[in-house]
Structure formats: C-alpha cells, structure tokens
C-alpha cells in the first residue's frame, strides 16, 4: 500500500538506554544519554528503519528515566540531580534544537512531564525549539499528572497531552468482576 507522505504524521520515540542490554555496562557518554551524538545517531537510525526523510514528532524520554535505568542509590541520585540535572536539560534542548534545524525532525515532545516546565522555559528563553507534546500515564484510574500539570504547565506553554494507558492497563475494558477474578489467579 502506497500512502502519500504528506498525509502521514509519524511520531517515534527516543529512549535513553539500549533495549535488552544493561546500560550501566556501556558508560554514559554518547551511549544512553541526551548527548547530541546519541540523539543524532538515534534519529538517523529511526529514519533508516522507517525509510523516511524526516519525522514529524520525536518523543523523548525524560532525564529522570536515566536514573531508573542506572539503578542508582538515593545519595547518588540526589548528587546527580544537584550537579547534572540543569546542565543535562540545557544540553538536551540544544541537541534537540539541532536535530530539528537539520530537518530530520519537525517537532519535539517529551515522555513523562516532570521536566517539561523547566526544559520548555529554557528553550523559549534561548530561542530553541520548544516541546509541543507530552506523553504521560493518564486514565480515569490514574490522573494525578492531569490535576497538577494540565491546568497550568501544559496550558501555559501550549503543549498537547498524549495519554498512554488511557484504558487503565485494560482494567477499563472489562467488567470490574472480571478484573478482580484475574487478580486472584
């Protein structure tokens, strides 16, 4: 089936780790971080796999997800946040702006919105490409982010929300009695 490219909107995800491998074994520089090199390599690989010249939206996992994958102790996490968090956001925003400027990507989005306010504010202050979307866990069962972010941050920056697990991991697709029966197995 041949579809006209101008009628398609391609959204793909950029992640901070190597799937199926232990990221801690590979070091952090240019391998599973938000460095310019890693972002460009990941985008070029996606374009090649998808056989496209550009991607409409590149959704990026948040910087906090680096900590998830490195299994850091609490003290190391606190040190990471204090010393590296702001420089990482700045480096990430410059790298994402560069990938947009090359024409490989039209827009950028973020997955997990903890950093979207600070990152978008930095982008706007420095005339960089801001985020246009955020993808968060949101459903009738789990809607904490919606109460906190949607009325303020997303509206203030004009960022669209892309919910994931909108049906509550399938819980909302069947009667509650079926869900409870499944939990007891």
Which strands form 11-14's sheet, in the order they lie side by side? 11-14, 55-61, 105-111, 131-137, 160-164
Would the pTM of this model clear 0.85, i.e. be above it? Answer: no
- Fold entry, domain 5-183: TIM Barrel (3.20.20)
* Mean pLDDT of successive 10-residue stretches along the chain, which has 185 residues: 83 69 51 75 89 92 54 52 67 93 95 75 93 78 67 78 70 67 56
Q: What is the pLDDT of residue 16?
A: 64
Cα–Cα dist 86/71, whole Å:
20
């Amino acid at each position: 089936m041949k579809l006209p490219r101008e009628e398609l909107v391609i959204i793909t995800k950029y992640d901070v780790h190597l799937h199926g491998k232990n990221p801690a074994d590979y070091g952090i520089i240019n391998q599973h971080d938000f460095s310019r090199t890693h972002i460009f390599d990941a985008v070029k690989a996606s374009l090649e796999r998808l056989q496209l010249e550009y991607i409409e939206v590149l959704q990026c996992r948040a910087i906090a997800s680096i900590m998830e994958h490195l299994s850091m102790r609490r003290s190391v996490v606190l040190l990471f946040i204090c010393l590296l968090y702001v420089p990482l956001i700045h480096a990430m925003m410059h790298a994402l702006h560069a990938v947009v400027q090359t024409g490989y990507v039209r827009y950028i989005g973020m997955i997990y919105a903890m950093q979207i306010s600070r990152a978008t504010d930095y982008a706007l202050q420095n005339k960089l490409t801001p985020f246009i979307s955020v993808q968060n866990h949101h459903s009738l069962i789990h809607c904490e982010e919606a109460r906190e972010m949607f009325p303020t941050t997303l509206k203030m920056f004009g960022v669209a929300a892309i919910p994931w697990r909108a049906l509550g991991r399938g819980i909302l697709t069947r009667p509650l009695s079926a869900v409870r029966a499944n939990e007891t197995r």
